[in-house]
Amino acid sequence: MSIGIPVERMDGRAKVTGTAPYAYEHQVADPLYLHLIQSTIARGQVTAIDVAAAEALPGVAAVLTHHTAPRLAPDAPAEFRALQSGEIVHHGQVIAGVVAESPHIARHAAGLVRVTYDARPHDVRLRADHPDLYTPDMVAIGAPADSATGDTHAALASAPFRIDQTYTTSAMFHSPIEPHATTAIWADDLTVYEASQGVHDFTALLAQALGFPADRIRVIAPHVGGAFGSKGLARPHAVLAALASRMTGGRAVKVALTRRQMFALTNHRPATVQRVQLGADADGRLTALVHDAILSTARYEEYVEWVATSSRNMYATPNRRTTHRAVRLDVQMPAPMRAPGEAQGHFATESAMDELATAIGMDPIELRIRNEPSADADTGLPWSSRNLVECLRLGAQRFGWAGRGRRREGDWLIGTGVAAATLPTWFKLISVAYGPSHAAVEHVGNGRYLVSTGASDAGTGARTALSQIAADALSVPLSDVDLELGDNALPRAMLAAGSMGTMVWGSAIVAAAGEFRRLHGTDPRPGARAEGAMTGNPHTERVTIDSFHAVFAEAAVHAETGEIRVPRLLGVFDIGRVVNPRTARSQLIGGMTMGLSMALHESAAVDQHVGAVVNNDFAGYHIATHADVADIDAVWLDKPDPYANEMGIRPAGENGVIGVAAAVANAVNHATGVRIRDLPITPDKLVVSRFAR
Ligand code: MOS
């Protein structure tokens, strides 16, 4: 058996020795370099654009503007519609690009382009009383915006214990270590080396935008340096690299976004304002749960994230209401960012649960256990496997939850907090959005097998885990398997999304291996080949297949300065079977670090006057680094889910993020008595609260 063994990352050596090529690094003959120019207003029109000085600079091959760029298909995806008109819909939008013999010349020439605008008033501020709030038809995952059962008004009015609070979260930026980059060559056919979470889905978007046949587009992405959702959709730089290649006679064109450019051009996690109302009886049973979410979307394209949907089945209650309201602002379209919706939603609800536990005088773990539902209240279906209570109990034991007195050590106030969470499995993405995933198995001779699928390893370790799945499915040692991915010439596979990659592509590999053995037996001839597909999960008609976890945090807050440290963080995960404990652990503690970052650091400083995020670099936009992470641990129950797939595995990675922000907020509250409902929890908020008390 290979599954369950902590195999080292197969591409680890290539990555640390610098031989694993990323999108910008593929060796191509005689490349040109594209530098993008961004708008300095948030709304309006480009009225004039003077490119004469740029064009006159030696080494400049072309300047792309909305006057010169080739036309895209009218139904091009919104984020691909670059340089199709002079209209400005958000600050930092691409308004031109310079193609030159070196990146330095391109960047210098970009500075010589003079742009005149007709600016119009913009609005980039999300607020709960915004006059233009509206109810979307659906939230972006395809669920209804609103849902209600029972009478929440009456239940809240008569509840002996009530919480009614508003929580806010900032816009956040994915910030993968590899900036978005493309190398495009569009001579006759089009070849694109792209930092992409899904080569086939990217191909389809590109074909649609360019009005060019998908079977004449080759997309290659063997290595991707982190994505977190930001490399899943269409981005303008990629289509512009293709257009630039075409405009320069089919020469290769490379483009890499700068870190600053990424803040305006690669989407963001939407900011939220969430009101949570809980009613409970004296035994801690929820009599009502109301979760109303308000969030931002773009004026030019709708994306309304599913912030409150997990409140539809996380806890048992007879009276429940969840709503989503959105407002169209003059910002770039928000988009999924690791644990989209769940991350913001759980911060609100799991903070509120902690507030309720305090109000009742009940242990917050016990409160959650008392409200454990027997079935999925949203669908009425039973769970395939829900072991949240075990996560809470095991975590309490390992963390040393019992007798959690707050204490003071010198100037530091120390407390602990807990949060529970769920991550749905979005099988719907397969049936509705992205379609089946395929894999192929070929015997290449000498007992060796080549397994291929158009999957993408965005840094998760998918390449390694899929090899392990393939070895077991073929009943051969891991060393007899070679795996190819990240190329649209390979069998069609869905993009890495919803933490479902290993699960979905793994099922396709299992199907291909089964088909291979059926056709060719155990002693195949060289060249013998078979394909298989993962087309969906028939069990979703009868069971709900979600993941669960509990997070425990210790917070230390400096009594004078409000400085916050998190000395300990423990996650206990109910994610089915784990294919590779090493890469899974890495995913989970990485996710938890991201959650810690959301709790304490990440915040968009929006200049309302300019209409832009002004802390658009890593000096101003803080993300957690090594010094912030002390004792962080992730463990799992290792209970295979018999309904999820043949391997018994459920989505893993994004679980790491979800519960952390609330666990930290709850620990800070336990330590200090101060409740921060506005992320991130920064020292200024704690100090101000102290004086305000
Ligand atoms: Mo993800 S945020 O489902 O790419």
Quick check: 581 and 572 in contact, CB under 8 A? no
Scanning the structure block, which residue is given the tokens 């090899």?
467
Q: What was the pLDDT predicted at 638?
A: 87
Q: Which residues form the catalytic set?
A: 654
User: Does 688 have pLDDT greater than 80?
Assistant: no
Q: Report pLDDT for 335.
A: 96
Three-state SS for 214?
helix
pLDDT of residue 126: 96
Closest residue by Cα to atom 4, ligand 1, is: 229
Domain residue ranges in the chain: 23-121+175-266, 147-172+269-426+542-692, 436-534
Q: Which residues face 254 on adjacent strands?
A: 33, 183
Q: How confident is the model at residue 433 (pLDDT cuts 50, 70, 90)?
A: confident
Mean pLDDT of 237-259: 97
Distance 229 CA to ligand 1 centre (A): 4
Mean pLDDT across the stretch 310-319? 98
Residue 4: exposure state from Cβ atoms within 10 A (0-12, 13-18, ≥19): middle
pLDDT, average across residues 607-619:
97
CB 655 within 8 A of CB 591: yes
How many H helices and E strands in the chain?
Answer: 17, 26
Residue 276 corresponds to which tokens in the numbers above? 């949570």
Say if ligand 1 is within 6 A of residue 172 CB: no
Instruction: Encode pLDDT of 44-83 as tens digits.
Output: 999 999 999 999 999 999 999 999 999 999 999 888 899 9
Averaged pLDDT, 397-413 = 94
User: Percent of the chain beyond pLDDT 90?
Assistant: 96
Ligand 1 site, residue 336, Cβ cutoff 6 A: yes
What spacing in Å lies between the alpha carbon of 339 and ligand 1's midpoint?
7
Reported as a pLDDT band with limits 50, 70 and 90, residue 691 is: low
CATH class of 436-534: alpha beta
% of the chain exceeding 70 in pLDDT: 99
Mean pLDDT of the chain: 96
- CA 426 to ligand 1: nearest atom: 3
Verify whether ligand 1 is closer than 6 Å to residue 334 (CB atom): no
Ligand 1 site, residue 226, Cβ cutoff 6 A: no
- Predicted TM-score (pTM) of the model is 0.97
- The answer to whether the CB of 337 is under 6 A from ligand 1 is yes
Least confident of 38-42, 63-67, 74-78, 466-470: 74-78
- The class that CATH gives domain 23-121+175-266 is alpha beta
Residue 552 in this model has a pLDDT that exceeds 70: yes
Strands, E assignment, 71-113: 87-88, 94-100
Ligand 1 lined by 279 (C-beta under 6 Å)? no
Tens of pLDDT along 538-547?
Answer: 999 999 999 9
Non-local (6+) Cβ contacts of 262 within 8 A are 173, 174, 175, 179, 180, 230
**Ordered strands of the 87-88 beta sheet:** 87-88, 44-50, 114-119
Atom of ligand 1 nearest to the CA of 497: 3
- In this prediction, residues 653-681 reach a mean pLDDT of 97
Reply yes or no on domain 147-172+269-426+542-692 having CATH 3.30.200.20.
Answer: no
* Whole-angstrom distance, CA of residue 575 vs CA of residue 257: 35
Which of 297, 322, 285 is CA-nearest to residue 89?
Answer: 297
pLDDT tens digits along 201-226: 999 999 999 999 999 999 999 999 99
Q: Among 215, 249, 289, 286, which Cα is nearest to 99's?
A: 249
Q: CA 54 to CA 105: how far, in whole Å?
A: 9
Q: What's the gap in Å between 228 CA and the centre of ligand 1?
A: 6
pLDDT at 692: 58
Report residue 319's pLDDT band, with 50, 70 and 90 as the boundaries: very high
Is pLDDT above 70 for 25? yes
Distance (Å) of CA 525 to CA 142, 444, 450, 517: 46, 8, 13, 12
Both tokens of residue 309?
């949907």
Task: Tell me the residue length of the chain.
Answer: 693
CA neighbours within 13 Å on the CB side: how many for 174? Answer: 27
pLDDT at 429: 84
Q: How many beta carbons lie within 10 A of that of residue 412, not counting itself? A: 16
Q: Which of 232-241, 249-258, 343-352, 437-446 comes out lowest in average pLDDT?
A: 232-241
Write b or e for each residue in 432-446: b if 16 or more Cβ atoms lie within 10 A of its Cβ, otherwise e: eebbbbbbbbbbeee
Query: What average pLDDT does range 114-136 have in this prediction?
Result: 97
Residue that is written with structure tokens 């597909």 in the block: 533
147-172+269-426+542-692 with 436-534: one CATH topology? Answer: yes
DSSP 8-state class, residue 434: I
Q: Is the CB of 498 under 6 A from ligand 1?
A: yes
Atom of ligand 1 minimally distant from the CA of 230:
4
Cα(607) to ligand 1 centroid in Å equals 28
Tokens representing 422?
């769920």
For residue 270, the CA-to-ligand 1 centroid distance in Å is 14
- In this prediction, residues 139-160 reach a mean pLDDT of 97
How far apart, in Å, are the Cα atoms of 374 and each of 50, 284, 387, 389, 655?
A: 66, 17, 11, 12, 22
Pick from 554, 557, 555: which is nearest to 410 by CA?
557
Q: Is the pLDDT of residue 267 over 60?
A: yes
User: What pLDDT, on the 0 to 100 scale, is given for residue 9?
Assistant: 96
